[in-house]
Amino acid sequence: MTGLAHRLRAGHARFVLLAGPSGIGTSALAVHLAGEHDGPCLRATGAEWEADRPYALLDQAWPGLTGPDPLEAAGELVRRLDPGTLLVVEDAQLGDLDSLRTLASALRHHPDAGLRVVATAVTGDRRARAEVLDLLPRVATDQPRVPPLDAAEIAELAAAYGVALHPSMAERLTRHTLGRPGPAVRLLAELPRSTWTTFDPVLPAPAVVDARVRQALADCSPPARCFAEAVAVLGDGSPVRTVLALAELTGDPLPMLDETAAAGLVELAPRGLTSVGPPDPMVRAAVLARLGPRRRAALQRRAADLVDDPVRALRLLVAASPVPDADVATRLDDLAAARAAEGAWGTAATLLTDASRLTDDPPLRQARITRAVDALIGAGDVFRAAALAPEVESVRETPLRDAVLGYLALVRGRAAEAGTRLGRAWDIVNAERDPETAALICQRYVLDALCRYDGRDLVRWADRAIELAGPDTPPAVEAAAIRGLGLAGIGRAKQARRDYETLTGRIRHGAQSQRAVMARGWLGLLTDRVDDARVDLESAVPTSYLGGSARISLWARAWLARAQFLTGEWDEALTTVRDALELQERTGILLTGPLLRWTSASVHALRGDWDDAEEALLRGETGTGDYPIMRLPSRLARAQVAEARADSEGVLRALYPLTSRPPASSADEPGHWPWHDTYAHALVLLGRLDEAEDFLAPHEKLAAKRDHASARARLAAARGRLLGARNDVAGATASFDEAVELLGALPLRYDQARVHFAYGQTLRRLGRRGRADVLLTTARDGFAAMGATTCVERCDRELKAGGVNLLRTGATALTPQEEAVTQLVARGLSNKEVAAELFLSGKTVQYHLTRIYAKLGVRSRTELAARHTADPEDRPVSRP
């Protein structure tokens, strides 16, 4: 709206039309634009009872304004118009036609008068005249879209009114009001504060909607009223024949459709006349409130017998049950188990929550609410699960209780608590008498082992879960979906691929398929099958798999962003990260946060967006849990940013804690967490060559044993840099050539550019400037295509330092390498940092500085920086 406010102030004639459904916030926007206006502001409001009176609207702003026709009236308006006046017209859809035509004529025939109008209009207002609705958009010079608010914006709106909304409650209020700020504000003001802190409340209609619906129902004929009530009971997408059966109506439904639609009580479904539903949840709530408990319950029970969907039928029975009902609760429990077997955890959670409410037996009620929390976590709705956690914690200790609370701690990244809870659950469960719960605990241990990145432990617990539960049960299928990642973590990636092909062939649909496909994509990324990985990960992102899991979707997005980063599609990677972080904010799942921030920090740093990179680092580390799967990407992100800054010491500080991991750790498997070459490069750049040798050798051996192409390539490049630092030209060239060849068969554009740069920088130091120039130019082109400005600048400095194709000048001019040193020193880098950046020794940098001082006639780094920032014409010209 900032640009729109600027155009209104610019003095040109404008007619801004803010149109949208009732409550969408057009009036608030009009008030905002009026507040931004510098000149006089007049107001007028359309009214239904004045719509037939000529000039009634304009008479409010300019009393007595009239004319024989709108054109003459427009001339009179312009003569009375004060310079810089803004006219705000509310409810323009109810304005009289003569006033609106006068405004149109003033805009067309007197553009220099600078008439500025901001008009609001409610779409769908059946009181509006057709001529007015046709005229308004034709008059408008600006029609900005007024979108509904999302859950985060609704939460901000609530906070402005002193109400702190839990993210899940903000989502609920957004759905109930369709994101319209008007009704949201009314409900925040009308309902008790305690409403917003309860779990899963039933939200009513705002008072103004309730009053309108009450009057509309009273004005309807009895058949139409019954029809509207039946639609409210059945909800969206209800077949008309089912509505007629529930309302016990016969005959032609079209007259009732006409009457209820005109009253704003019923809306046709997009696919035609066969289905109907309430216009919005608020109207539905108002109609249900008018029914009264007894009549509503009777209709809901009858509706349960008419609908085909078993979930919908049982939920209607729940709504009609004011007291516990063991039969309905058992049916809910059985259906929840069936949905859980399909992996539809969101649906299962809803059914189990309903079942617990209708259960009178305390132990059974506690078991059902505990299973509901478990299902909510499985669906990725951690906020709602946490809201119910105190109820679970208050019940007597059981293996299931401890397993569920351990699961909740796990997805929040609390490794110590998860380990304690799961350990207690395993200690007290009797696997022989209760194999189902024992298998569930094993499956939670599978996830715990994944987060600890312990492949051996993961496979062990997965095998135990499958043995206890049987191969086709939900715990066994989930364990099998993750087991392949454990196999990859102990060097058995080929077997993992075979297992995933079998599993995905056996489970082709539903949420369980989402899990298996996501894990297969994750494995594909770890094993250089990047294109296949992208296909799998993209298909695992949606959560429409029978109530698929947001938790799985987050993992899919996190690894998809990594794939997009490696293949150089950085804009897409940032979009994926942004969408995933929004989902994380809504669900409360913290495990994937550092992994997502690793990608965003990398892109921002390589593009020179340092503030964004530092923010990503900070957010990635804030609240980072105890699990390695959170700590590892956090450290790699910090190392990436340090490398982008040419801060080799910073790289070592970030990665050194990873060097003390136990032998044969899954985190050191080639391709899983690519940090080893980054660490080795930093050691070489700092001159710690023997340390680099000792560090590289075991990782090179393991990468060769696993025959992992990208890991071998990255390590070969680090080896090439090490050999180059030892002046072994042949060895360095052979290692770099191997790295280039290995990467040539892979779509890893970032790694290709990075290796070419290291190769060119090494050859430039060894005096092979012609070949170095070609390699550095290739690297520069690759980095430029990805927008990696930081690396492009580094390539430019190296090319300049190499001096190829530069003209010779006088003896007092700086050499290309001296110019490169000058630029870095002028930026404030120390000799050590300059040496690391240009791959030189500290003594060489000092030697160059001594010559630079003599040539430029300066005595200190401060004077050199000041001289360097002077006019370029005052600087000596570089020569080779």
CATH code matching the domain that covers 2-139, chosen among 3.30.465.10, 3.30.497.10, 2.30.38.10, 3.40.50.300: 3.40.50.300
Burial of 551 (0-12, 13-18, 19+ CB in 10 A): buried
Provide the 10 A C-beta neighbour count for residue 164: 12
| pLDDT for 298 beyond 70 | yes
| pLDDT for 879 beyond 70 | no
Cβ atoms of residues 522 and 559 within 8 Å: yes
**Rounded alpha-carbon distances, angstroms, from residue 276 to 199, 221, 261, 468, 666:** 30, 19, 10, 48, 55
% of the chain with per-residue pLDDT over 90: 65
Domain positions in the chain are 2-139, 151-197, 207-322, 327-565, 610-800, 816-874
The pLDDT value given to residue 570 = 95
| Region 125-132 average pLDDT | 89
Cβ atoms of residues 527 and 498 within 8 Å: no
For 540-555, the pLDDT digits (tens) are 887 654 445 788 899 9
Cβ atoms of residues 668 and 699 within 8 Å: yes
Domain 207-322 has CATH 1.10.3470: no
The pLDDT value given to residue 291 = 93
Provide the 10 A C-beta neighbour count for residue 850: 10
Least confident range from 402-406, 588-592, 642-646, 688-692: namely: 588-592
564-569-575 Cα angle (round to 5): 75
CA atoms within 13 A on the CB side of 307: 23
Residue type, 148: P
pLDDT band at 530 (very low <50, low <70, confident <90, very high): very high
Structure-block tokens of residue 126: 């059946």
DSSP codes, 230-282: HHHHH-TTEEHHHHHHHHT--S-SHHHHHHHHHTTS-EE-TT-TTEEE-SSHH
Phi then psi dihedrals of residue 401, to 5 deg: -55, -50
The pLDDT value given to residue 868 = 72
- Give the distance, in angstroms, between the CA of residue 567 and the centroid of all CA atoms in the same chain: 20
Structure-block tokens of residue 548: 């698929």
Domain 327-565 has CATH 1.25.40.10: yes
Residue type, 863: E
For 488-518, the pLDDT digits (tens) are 999 999 999 999 999 988 877 767 788 899 9
% of the chain with per-residue pLDDT over 70: 94
Phi then psi dihedrals of residue 277, to 5 deg: -170, 170
Cβ atoms of residues 681 and 687 within 8 Å: no
DSSP codes, 340-400: HHTT-HHHHHHHHHHHHHT--SHHHHHHHHHHHHHHHHHHT-HHHHHHHHHHHHTSPP-HH
Start-to-end CA distance of the chain, whole Å, equals 55
Q: Which residue has the tokens 């779509």?
A: 747
Question: Which spans in 766-860 are helix H?
Answer: 769-786, 789-802, 816-826, 831-838, 842-856
The pLDDT value given to residue 869 = 66
Q: Which residue has the tokens 């319950």?
A: 297
The pLDDT value given to residue 663 = 61
The pLDDT value given to residue 318 = 94
Gap between the Cα atoms of 667 and 677, Å rounded: 14
Phi then psi dihedrals of residue 65, to 5 deg: -70, 125
The pLDDT value given to residue 171 = 87
E strand or H helix that includes residue 122: strand 116-122
Gap between the Cα atoms of 696 and 685, Å rounded: 14
| Region 397-419 average pLDDT | 93
pLDDT band at 722 (very low <50, low <70, confident <90, very high): very high
| Region 650-656 average pLDDT | 96
Least confident range from 49-63, 337-351, 528-542: namely: 337-351
Gap between the Cα atoms of 387 and 241, Å rounded: 40
For 754-800, the pLDDT digits (tens) are 999 999 999 998 989 889 999 999 999 999 989 999 999 999 888 88
Identical fold for domains 327-565 and 610-800, yes or no, is yes
| pLDDT for 873 beyond 50 | no
Gap between the Cα atoms of 212 and 218, Å rounded: 10
Mean pLDDT of the chain: 89
Cβ atoms of residues 531 and 391 within 8 Å: no
Cβ atoms of residues 399 and 364 within 8 Å: no
Structure-block tokens of residue 646: 């040419």
Q: Which of 797, 49, 286, 106 is nearest to 57 (CA)?
A: 49
Gap between the Cα atoms of 117 and 563, Å rounded: 50
pLDDT band at 12 (very low <50, low <70, confident <90, very high): confident
CA atoms within 13 A on the CB side of 634: 20
Gap between the Cα atoms of 819 and 855, Å rounded: 11
| pLDDT for 647 beyond 60 | yes
Structure-block tokens of residue 31: 């008030």
β-pairing verdict for 238-239 and 275-277: antiparallel
Least confident range from 135-139, 822-826, 861-865, 873-877: namely: 873-877
**Is the Cα torsion angle 582, 583, 588, 592 positive or negative in sign?**
negative
Burial of 302 (0-12, 13-18, 19+ CB in 10 A): middle
**Is the Cα torsion angle 351, 357, 358, 363 positive or negative in sign?**
positive
Gap between the Cα atoms of 574 and 830, Å rounded: 33
| pLDDT for 305 beyond 80 | yes
The number of helices, as runs of H, and strands, as runs of E, in the chain is 45, 7
Burial of 317 (0-12, 13-18, 19+ CB in 10 A): buried
Gap between the Cα atoms of 752 and 761, Å rounded: 14
pLDDT band at 379 (very low <50, low <70, confident <90, very high): confident
| pLDDT for 876 beyond 50 | no
Buried b (16+ CB within 10 A) or exposed e, 49-67: ebbeebbbbbbbbbeebeb
For 246-270, the pLDDT digits (tens) are 999 998 999 999 999 999 999 988 7
816-874: CATH topology is Arc Repressor Mutant, subunit A (1.10.10)
For 598-627, the pLDDT digits (tens) are 999 999 999 999 999 999 999 888 656 689
Instruction: Kindly give, in sequence order, each residue whose CB lies less than 8 Å from that of residue 855, ignoring residues fewer than 6 positions away.
Output: 812, 813, 814, 818, 876
610-800: CATH topology is 1.25.40
The pLDDT value given to residue 870 = 59
Greatest alpha-carbon span in the chain: 104
Gap between the Cα atoms of 272 and 160, Å rounded: 41
The pLDDT value given to residue 588 = 82
Phi then psi dihedrals of residue 45, to 5 deg: -135, 130
pLDDT band at 826 (very low <50, low <70, confident <90, very high): confident
